[in-house]
Amino acid sequence: MGLKGGGEFSRLGGMGKKQAELVTAETMASKQRDISVSEFFLKNRHLLGFDSPRRALLTAVKEAVDNSMDACEEAGILPEIAVELEQLTESRFRVTVTDNGPGIVKAQIPKIFAKLLYGSKFHRLRMSRGQQGIGISAAGMYGQLTTGAATRILSRIKHTKMAHAISVQIDTRTNKPVILSEEEQDWRPTMQVVDEEGKPDGAPVVHNHGTCVSIDMEAAYVRGRQSVDEFLKQCAIVNPHLTLHYRLTLKERAESGNLKPEAGKKAGKGDASESQISGFRSPPSALSVTYRRAVNLLPAIPDEILPHPHGVELGMLMQMLKDTESRTVKGALSSDFSRVSAQTAGDICERAGVNPKASPTRVAHHEAELLYKAIQETKLMRPPTDCVAPIGEEQILAGLKKEIAADFYSAVTREPAVYRGNPFLIEVGVAYAKPEDPELKSDDPVRLLRFANRVPLLYQPGACVITKAVQGVNWKAYGLDQPKGSLPVGPVVVMVHMASVWVPFTSESKDAIASYEDVLAEMTLALQECGRRLSVFLNKRRRDLEAARKRNYMELYIPHLALGLKEILELPDKEEAKIVKDLKKMLEKTHLDV
Amino acid sequence: MGLKGGGEFSRLGGMGKKQAELVTAETMASKQRDISVSEFFLKNRHLLGFDSPRRALLTAVKEAVDNSMDACEEAGILPEIAVELEQLTESRFRVTVTDNGPGIVKAQIPKIFAKLLYGSKFHRLRMSRGQQGIGISAAGMYGQLTTGAATRILSRIKHTKMAHAISVQIDTRTNKPVILSEEEQDWRPTMQVVDEEGKPDGAPVVHNHGTCVSIDMEAAYVRGRQSVDEFLKQCAIVNPHLTLHYRLTLKERAESGNLKPEAGKKAGKGDASESQISGFRSPPSALSVTYRRAVNLLPAIPDEILPHPHGVELGMLMQMLKDTESRTVKGALSSDFSRVSAQTAGDICERAGVNPKASPTRVAHHEAELLYKAIQETKLMRPPTDCVAPIGEEQILAGLKKEIAADFYSAVTREPAVYRGNPFLIEVGVAYAKPEDPELKSDDPVRLLRFANRVPLLYQPGACVITKAVQGVNWKAYGLDQPKGSLPVGPVVVMVHMASVWVPFTSESKDAIASYEDVLAEMTLALQECGRRLSVFLNKRRRDLEAARKRNYMELYIPHLALGLKEILELPDKEEAKIVKDLKKMLEKTHLDV
């Protein structure tokens, strides 16, 4: 060992027994290997929302419903979806989700349901619920891990006679689907509307196309704020064009079971709650409900957009120039980006000192840097924003009215804005509960409902920019109590929706939105607008209460006053009653300025 | 459309202009495609800790240092690492990390630095800093995305004459490395110790082997609690066997620059802080520091272990039986799992009713289920736990003493425990600052330092089980104020370390630990133990203060008392002084029971 270098070995005498295991560059190299993306997520399944049996159940339902909703809407079909949870053993459930979507062509089924990172939504900028190409395959992989069973899919596309039935597993070593069985089958998705008591209401509806996916998994059913029940209810609220059937069948409780809240977790406030949970110990162990659609119109189908130049980084610009179908730099700029006309593309090239007719594949690194810089310096229209579809103020108010009986409702849909080149839009709704509401107490934190592209977010509120935005507003100015840095306190429901062509989730489980400044700013503005309206209401209510109090106080004295007047003026007895009446009338007419 | 089915189309008249874009199962199929894991993480780079220029800088340093530390320790080399940050332009930095590790063999370099999900640490259960095979390639990918530049690596292994110099990029479409240039070079890692003023102290140390990685990236340097400075300082504290050189060179501030805290973010409390940040506006714009190792012994090299049967799920068991090299089920159980002797393996087979001599590859699904059940019912020794190496109470105390001048220090290293079959170990240290500490104020929340496998965690405290554990302890019982559900308040530093063969991070950026009940319970016990000790100290201190207060009070009256006595007893004047003296002496001797 030269110079003062490797002297470290001489000092290692004290290490003792472990020395035999020391490795060298060569032995290390022999252990290096590929990790398949499914191995990665299998070992890190909490990243996908499968960390507890309770959450796994919700995540599986959520992924399946997201896919069904997206498929129906893209095909212009009013969605009708059936979610069925059947308890197979103490700790095992079958999750089955059926839709009336366009169906899936045979060759695509295995990859869609048994291959991570496969899909149609990742490589585009378009508002949809799914975006990663992971979710439903992850649910199947989790089922496979915990029960060894396969994912079973039935799908029928329009104008075909038979449905395709297939069962697939995922080879986690290679992230490839393995088909276990496959056959043609006579099947049509059949849906049954039930009334409020869970009884069939009319004949079943039979569709000519659709998809049904069924997964067995280790799971636990627990009611409450993070339950499948709550998720589906909120889904129905923000998707008024959806008809949703939900059936839950629990095994009768022979052995001590899994139906209690998970160990160590207490049911949250306002949970649906302890008494109902213990009710599972005996029948009725089934639940059946239909959320019928409230509107027969699909929301506008959002457009797909091209990336906006101001949201594209240097490396991405270089990649796009390499991949373009255009023959010139100018052509690539104007055809592959939004808001770049041929004129603007020419200006950018000129500013960068790059020949507009150069071949885009031959642009050198420093030229790309010049182009990148020129783009940043060029004023461009903001990205088109009709690609993000709001729920709409009216629908938000209708949704809040379903959720809560309140004295005050307000909703704000902001104009679209842009973060990192991605158009997005924020909506906020606020409701102030009637005093008699048993769930919303005036000394509890407000109830916060979070949504992203019309999907309810039930987990990880602490990691979400929505929570941060609500905490960051000064609610004291609007008449609500608020401990420092916390959610405001009061009998209030606050809902916040972010719609975007790309929602920046904090993890693959898509439970929380990352904190981008532009997003936070838009949320804050929308919340403040609702806050101002709330404060007008609360001020008025406070004044009204004060006036009522004064009025009551005065009313108390009216009989005495009447008696006094009678005696002073020596009026007859019958006049006394008239005076009382007149005084009360006067009092009612008076505006009490408090 | 048959029956009541597809009536939805007739109701869609109102949809209008968008109808042209409706898709079918067939058009959808044509858009389905693979997503490479690098495309995925490129679009979701916030998952990897590259969401802001400031955080990107820290993440890149962290990934490189983690790798260097792991490599040195595995090879039994006392680590000496140099971290250099050089500002190239206003918003661009060059990050260079050099180590004296064993080096990397030529053929492995491109994959290790330019391929996501590649490495030696994922497929084993062994305590190390890296575990995913993502980090350093992600840093390179981010550099490439933001600057278009390649990752440059220099590596020299022992007993070779020349170092290998290579520059690589990642082809994000395929997640494969692209080599841009490659050559042999005469290079030895050279490190320079500097004194407290940043001046060279002695001759540079030259090593015979090591690796140097250099990445250019968009980044921002901001001091404070989430800075590279803080990360490296904490690294040195929990790795007393590390010698760490850190050099920062900032450009002089010609234009208005990026050196302020990021827009919209105020410097946190105790940030190193505004005044220093504005100090950058003029030279000195460089920083140079050496953290010298305090001990010349490597921590024990942790063992690699086999999976424990109780932590293996059914699907995993099936996969392991498929992959085993054993010829019998019994053999597979005893050779591929920890804590399963041949005897126990036989018992499991018998209990499951499975032939112990059957070929493991031919075990049917229902047989695997029976085996799985039998394993759950079999009592097994807990996993071996000498595979997790603690920092140790002594080292934690030494670390805390570096961090804070306190009146009270305490540390607890718990015995190893197990979550989901994975051994882990919790350590906690607590220090109560001297009242004159300017950074730790008695009405601020305690300062929490989080570590996982000796790596400081600086981001996402809210998502981390460590924060949850500290919030969950009743600190009022130990004499600290604590707002409901929050961190306790006081001039206190709390440090928590989790060591494990597999740390369950909440995201790929490895900033926060997921909340497993077993982990939470161990942390709570360790915190409570430190809390009890703290309360003994605080009680004593309170009593001492109270006694001092009483003593002062009485001292006030001694002269009056003496005067009174003198007058009553008609003593001479000089006696008065003696009485005062005697009384004071008495008071000092008295134990004031308060």
3-state secondary structure A403-462: HCCEEEEEEEECCCEEECCEEEEEEEEEEEECCCCCCCCCCCECEEEEEECCEEECCCHH
Confidence at residue B77, expressed as pLDDT on a 0 to 100 scale: 95
* Helix H or strand E segment including A579: helix A573-589
Q: So what's the ipTM on this one?
A: 0.78
Give the confidence band of B591 by pLDDT, cuts at 50, 70, 90: low
Query: What φ, ψ does residue A444 adopt, rounded to 5°?
Result: -95, 160
**How many C-beta atoms lie closer than 10 Å to residue B544's C-beta?**
12
- Mean pLDDT, chain A, integer: 85
CB A313 within 8 A of CB B51: no
Beta bridge partners of B256: none
Nearest CA in chain A to B460: A463
Q: Averaged over B346-365, what is the pLDDT?
A: 93
Q: Which residues of A touch B104 (CB under 8 A)?
A: 25, 28-29
- Summarised one tens digit per residue, pLDDT across range A88-122 is 999 999 999 999 999 999 999 999 999 998 888 88
- Summarised one tens digit per residue, pLDDT across range B464-500 is 999 999 999 999 999 999 987 789 999 999 999 999 9
- What CA–CA distance (Å, rounded) separates B89 from A202? 71
Confidence at residue B40, expressed as pLDDT on a 0 to 100 scale: 87
% of chain A residues with pLDDT over 70: 89
CB B115 within 8 A of CB B139: no
Q: Which residues of B touch A313 (CB under 8 A)?
A: 145-146, 218
Interface touch A102/B172, C-beta < 8 Å: no
pLDDT exceeds 80 at position B584: no
Token pair 């009768």: residue: A252
Q: Which residues of A touch B122 (CB under 8 A)?
A: 35, 39-40, 43
Selecting from B71, B105, B146 the residue whose C-beta is nearest the C-beta of A315 gives: B146
Confidence at residue A404, expressed as pLDDT on a 0 to 100 scale: 84
CB A440 within 8 A of CB A410: no
- What CA–CA distance (Å, rounded) separates B448 from B464? 11
Q: Averaged over B171-190, what is the pLDDT?
A: 94
pLDDT exceeds 90 at position A221: yes
- What CA–CA distance (Å, rounded) separates A330 from A360? 8
Selecting from B208, B297, B368 the residue whose C-beta is nearest the C-beta of A6 gives: B208
Selecting from A33, A112, A146 the residue whose C-beta is nearest the C-beta of B32 gives: A112
Report the gap between the CA of A500 and the closest CA in chain B (Å): 14
Identify the CA nearest to A157 among candidates A205, A206, A80, A102: A102
Tokens found for residue A179: 């088909």
Selecting from A2, A12, A298 the residue whose C-beta is nearest the C-beta of B206 gives: A2
Q: Mutation test of the interface with chain B: which of A50, A106, A155, A313, choosing the one with the most B Cβ atoms within 10 A? A: A313
CB B189 within 8 A of CB B207: yes
- Summarised one tens digit per residue, pLDDT across range B372-382 is 999 999 998 88
Confidence at residue A592, expressed as pLDDT on a 0 to 100 scale: 52
Kindly tell me the burial class for residue B446, based on how many C-beta atoms sit within 10 Å of its own C-beta (0-12, 13-18, 19 or more). Answer: buried
One-letter amino acid for residue B27 of the chain: T
Name which of A395-399, A415-419, A459-463, B129-133 the model is least confident about. Answer: B129-133
Report the gap between the CA of B35 and the closest CA in chain A (Å): 5
Alpha carbon B436 to its chain's center: 29
- What CA–CA distance (Å, rounded) separates B543 from B539? 6
Q: Averaged over A368-379, what is the pLDDT?
A: 93
Confidence at residue A9, expressed as pLDDT on a 0 to 100 scale: 34
Interface touch B8/A105, C-beta < 8 Å: no
Q: Which residues of A touch B503 (CB under 8 A)?
A: none
Token pair 């608020």: residue: A482
What is the side-by-side strand order in the sheet with B80-89? Answer: B176-185, B163-171, B151-156, B210-218, B92-99, B80-89, B243-249, B286-291
Half-sphere exposure of B89 (CA within 13 A, CB side): 7
Q: Which residues of B touch A37 (CB under 8 A)?
A: 37, 117
Distance (Å) of CA B510 to CA A64, A507, B185, B251, B451 = 29, 12, 35, 31, 11
- Summarised one tens digit per residue, pLDDT across range A291-337 is 999 889 888 878 888 989 988 889 889 989 988 999 999 999 999 99
Kindly tell me the burial class for residue B107, based on how many C-beta atoms sit within 10 Å of its own C-beta (0-12, 13-18, 19 or more). Answer: exposed
**Nearest-5° angle of CA A91, CA A92, CA A96?**
145
Half-sphere exposure of B127 (CA within 13 A, CB side): 26
Interface touch A298/B514, C-beta < 8 Å: no
Nearest CA in chain B to A459: B463
Report the gap between the CA of B496 and the closest CA in chain A (Å): 21
What is the model's pTM? 0.82
pLDDT exceeds 80 at position B42: yes
Q: How many cross-chain Cβ pairs, A to B, lie less than 8 Å apart?
A: 288
- What CA–CA distance (Å, rounded) separates B426 from B496? 7
No. of helices (H) and no. of strands (E), chain A: 15, 18
Report the gap between the CA of A247 and the closest CA in chain B (Å): 21
pLDDT exceeds 70 at position B14: no
Identify the CA nearest to B265 among candidates B53, B90, B42: B53
DSSP secondary structure letters along A158-185: TT-SSEEEEEEEEETTTTEEEEEEEEEE
Interface touch B122/A43, C-beta < 8 Å: yes
Beta bridge partners of A86: A94, A249
- What CA–CA distance (Å, rounded) separates B362 from B458? 49
pLDDT exceeds 90 at position B295: no
pLDDT exceeds 60 at position B546: yes
pLDDT exceeds 70 at position B17: no
pLDDT exceeds 60 at position B522: yes
- What CA–CA distance (Å, rounded) separates A240 from A260? 32
**Nearest-5° angle of CA A100, CA A106, CA A111?**
100
Give the confidence band of B429 by pLDDT, cuts at 50, 70, 90: very high
Q: Which residue has the higher pLDDT, A279 or B316?
A: B316
Q: Mutation test of the interface with chain A: which of B28, B106, B157, B173, choosing the one with the most A Cβ atoms within 10 A? A: B28
Report the gap between the CA of A544 and the closest CA in chain B (Å): 34
* Helix H or strand E segment including B540: helix B517-569
Q: Averaged over B5-29, what is the pLDDT?
A: 51
- Give Dmax over CA atoms of chain B in angstroms: 123
Interface touch B32/A117, C-beta < 8 Å: no
Identify the CA nearest to A401 among candidates A537, A294, A479, A286: A294
Q: Is B25 helix (H, G, I), strand (E, B) or coil?
A: helix
Selecting from B2, B78, B133 the residue whose C-beta is nearest the C-beta of A35 gives: B133
- What CA–CA distance (Å, rounded) separates A298 from A130? 18
Q: Which residue has the higher pLDDT, A103 or A11?
A: A103
Q: Averaged over B10-16, what is the pLDDT?
A: 35
Alpha helices in A44-87 (DSSP H): 53-74
- Summarised one tens digit per residue, pLDDT across range A405-452 is 899 999 999 998 888 888 999 999 999 998 888 888 888 899 999 999
Interface touch B74/A28, C-beta < 8 Å: yes
For chain A, helix, strand, coil in percent to 5 are: 40, 20, 40
Report the gap between the CA of A22 and the closest CA in chain B (Å): 5
Give the confidence band of A267 by pLDDT, cuts at 50, 70, 90: very low
- What CA–CA distance (Å, rounded) separates A187 from A123? 33
% of chain B residues with pLDDT over 90: 54
Q: Which residues of B touch A28 (CB under 8 A)?
A: 71, 74-75, 102, 104-105, 108, 120
Interface touch A47/B263, C-beta < 8 Å: no
Confidence at residue A259, expressed as pLDDT on a 0 to 100 scale: 45
pLDDT exceeds 60 at position B559: yes
Report the gap between the CA of B1 and the closest CA in chain A (Å): 7
Give the confidence band of B1 by pLDDT, cuts at 50, 70, 90: very low
Of chain A, the end-to-end C-alpha distance in Å amounts to 90
- What CA–CA distance (Å, rounded) separates B409 from B495? 11
Confidence at residue B5, expressed as pLDDT on a 0 to 100 scale: 35
- Mean pLDDT, chain B, integer: 85
Exposure b/e, B176-194, CB count within 10 A at least 16 = b: ebeeeeeeeeebbbbbeeb
Give the confidence band of B270 by pLDDT, cuts at 50, 70, 90: very low
Radius of gyration of chain A (CA): 31
Interface touch B205/A47, C-beta < 8 Å: no
Nearest CA in chain B to A142: B315
- What CA–CA distance (Å, rounded) separates B127 from B301? 9
CB A128 within 8 A of CB A183: no
Interface touch B5/A205, C-beta < 8 Å: yes
Q: Averaged over A567-573, what is the pLDDT?
A: 76
Give the confidence band of A278 by pLDDT, cuts at 50, 70, 90: very low
CB B305 within 8 A of CB B126: yes
Confidence at residue A216, expressed as pLDDT on a 0 to 100 scale: 97
Give the confidence band of A61 by pLDDT, cuts at 50, 70, 90: very high
**How many C-beta atoms lie closer than 10 Å to residue A232's C-beta?**
23
Token pair 């799914």: residue: A130
Q: Which residues of B touch A510 (CB under 8 A)?
A: none
Confidence at residue B590, expressed as pLDDT on a 0 to 100 scale: 63
Selecting from B148, B296, B368 the residue whose C-beta is nearest the C-beta of A148 gives: B368
Q: Which residue has the higher pLDDT, B383 or A520?
A: A520
Q: Averaged over B200-222, what is the pLDDT?
A: 95
Q: Averaged over B438-442, what is the pLDDT?
A: 82
Report the gap between the CA of A13 and the closest CA in chain B (Å): 9
Name which of A204-213, B125-134, B339-348, B424-433 the model is least confident about. Answer: B125-134
Alpha carbon B56 to its chain's center: 16
Distance (Å) of CA A97 to CA A153, A245, A448, B476 = 10, 10, 28, 49
- Summarised one tens digit per residue, pLDDT across range A516-562 is 899 999 999 999 999 999 999 999 988 988 888 877 877 777 777 77
Q: Mutation test of the interface with chain A: which of B303, B313, B508, choosing the one with the most A Cβ atoms within 10 A? A: B313
Q: Which residues of A touch B71 (CB under 8 A)?
A: 28
- What CA–CA distance (Å, rounded) separates A487 from A484? 9
Selecting from B9, B37, B157 the residue whose C-beta is nearest the C-beta of A117 gives: B37
Q: Which residues of B touch A117 (CB under 8 A)?
A: 34-37, 40
CB B330 within 8 A of CB B350: no
- Summarised one tens digit per residue, pLDDT across range B51-91 is 889 999 999 999 999 999 999 999 999 999 999 999 999 99
* Helix H or strand E segment including B334: helix B329-336
**How many C-beta atoms lie closer than 10 Å to residue A107's C-beta?**
10
CB B305 within 8 A of CB B125: yes
Confidence at residue A275, expressed as pLDDT on a 0 to 100 scale: 34
- What CA–CA distance (Å, rounded) separates A410 from A401? 10
Confidence at residue B592, expressed as pLDDT on a 0 to 100 scale: 52
Selecting from A24, A32, A316 the residue whose C-beta is nearest the C-beta of B158 gives: A24
Interface touch B298/A12, C-beta < 8 Å: yes
CB B579 within 8 A of CB B566: yes
One-letter amino acid for residue B505 of the chain: F
Q: Is B248 helix (H, G, I), strand (E, B) or coil?
A: strand
pLDDT exceeds 50 at position B517: yes
Distance (Å) of CA B418 to CA A47, A192, B136, B300, B422 = 21, 47, 29, 20, 5
Give the confidence band of A486 by pLDDT, cuts at 50, 70, 90: confident
Report the gap between the CA of A346 and the closest CA in chain B (Å): 23
- What CA–CA distance (Å, rounded) separates B461 from A581? 67
- What CA–CA distance (Å, rounded) separates B154 from B210? 8
Interface touch A35/B117, C-beta < 8 Å: yes
Name which of A110-114, A214-218, B544-548, B583-587 the model is least confident about. Answer: B583-587
- What CA–CA distance (Å, rounded) separates A427 from A416? 10
Name which of A410-414, A581-585, B134-138 the model is least confident about. Answer: A581-585
pLDDT exceeds 70 at position A513: yes
